[in-house]
Amino acid sequence: MTDPILLRPHHALCLRFFEGKGYSEEYVNNAWNVLRTLRENGAFTVTAGPDVLCAACPNLGKNGLCRWQEKITRYDADAAEKLGLKDGGTYDFNAFSKTRAKELVPQICTDCEWAYICTKE
């Protein structure tokens, strides 16, 4: 098993539904690699700051803040609370993927442009 991957709480939720759409080709390729690693090796550690997905996102500023920082902070807080994820906690992604996350997406991701992916049948 490799070292756990650092993920923001809402990114742990996002990756559960990832299907290859994103902000840029670099972001999408990085997300596929992260998801493959998580499915194979399992562990992720929750972080309150930029994570492995942010590293390839064109919306991450040089100051380490997202272009939509206020929204991202809200998503992280809601995802952490509703999914029981603690900052610094390490979790098994495959077990986490079996949680009732889908029904929580409308509560957590109220104004996310990608939420339609996570809630479709």
CA 73 to chain centre: 12
| pLDDT one-digit tens code per residue, 99-119 | 767 788 888 888 888 888 877
Give the DSSP H/E element, type plus range, for residue 47: none
CB distance 7 to 108 below 8 Å: no
pTM across the whole model: 0.88
Output DSSP code: residue 79: H
Q: Is 6 helix (H, G, I), strand (E, B) or coil?
A: strand
| pLDDT one-digit tens code per residue, 57-86 | 888 888 888 888 899 999 999 999 999 999
What is the rounded CA–CA span in Å between residue 95 and residue 30?
22
Q: Which two tokens stand for residue 87?
A: 């900052």
